[in-house]
Amino acid sequence: MSAVLDDRVDDDLWSAIGDPTRRRMLDLLLSEGSGTATSLSDRLPVTRQAVAKHLVVLDRVGLVHASAVGRERQFRVDQAQLARAVAQLTDVGAAWDTRLQRIKRLAEAIEHGVSEKDRERGPRR
Amino acid sequence: MSAVLDDRVDDDLWSAIGDPTRRRMLDLLLSEGSGTATSLSDRLPVTRQAVAKHLVVLDRVGLVHASAVGRERQFRVDQAQLARAVAQLTDVGAAWDTRLQRIKRLAEAIEHGVSEKDRERGPRR
DNA sequence: GCCTTTCGCAACTATCGGTTGCGGATCAAC
DNA sequence: GTTGATCCGCAACCGATAGTTGCGAAAGGC
The structural domains of chain A, with segments of one domain joined by +, span: 1-125
Q: Give the span between the Cα atoms of A48 and B75, in whole angstroms.
A: 42
8 A C-beta contact, residue B16 and residue B63 = yes
Which pLDDT value is given to residue B9? 76
> Chain B partners of A1 at a C-beta cutoff of 8 Å?
31
The pLDDT value recorded for residue B2 is 46
Average pLDDT, consecutive stretches of 10 residues, N- to C-terminus, chain B (125 residues) = 58 92 95 94 95 96 92 94 94 93 87 62 51
Cα B34 to Cα A41, B2, B28, B93, distances in angstroms: 44, 42, 8, 29
Q: Burial, B59: exposed, middle or buried (Cβ in 10 Å; 0-12, 13-18, 19+)?
A: middle
| pLDDT for res B42 | 94
State the pTM of this model: 0.81
Residue B43 has what DSSP assignment? T
Mean pLDDT across A70-89: 93
What pLDDT was estimated at residue A4? 47
d(CA A55, CA A59): 6
Calculate ∠ Cα A106-A87-B20, nearest 5°. Answer: 70
Q: For A15-44, write each residue's pLDDT tens digit.
A: 999 999 999 999 999 999 999 999 999 999
Question: What integer pLDDT is reported at residue A20 of this predicted model?
Answer: 93
Using a CB–CB cut-off of 8 Å, the residues of B that contact A are: 1-3, 5-6, 9, 11, 14-15, 18-20, 23-24, 26-28, 30-31, 79, 82-83, 85-86, 89-90, 92-93, 96-97, 99-100, 103-104
Q: For residue A109, is pLDDT > 60?
A: yes
- Considering CB atoms only, which of B18, B79, B93 is closest to A18? B18
Helices B79-111 and A20-32 pack at an angle, to 10 degrees, of 30
* CB pair distance less than 8 Å for B18 and A23: no
Can you tell me the distance from the alpha carbon of A30 to that of A58, in angstroms, rounded to the nearest whole number?
A: 14
Arithmetic mean of pLDDT, A69-90: 93
Check B89 against A86: CB less than 8 A apart: no
Query: If one looks up domain A1-125 in CATH, what number appears?
Result: 1.10.10.10
B9:A28 CB<8 A: no
* Digit-coded pLDDT (tens) for A45-71: 999 999 999 999 999 999 999 998 888
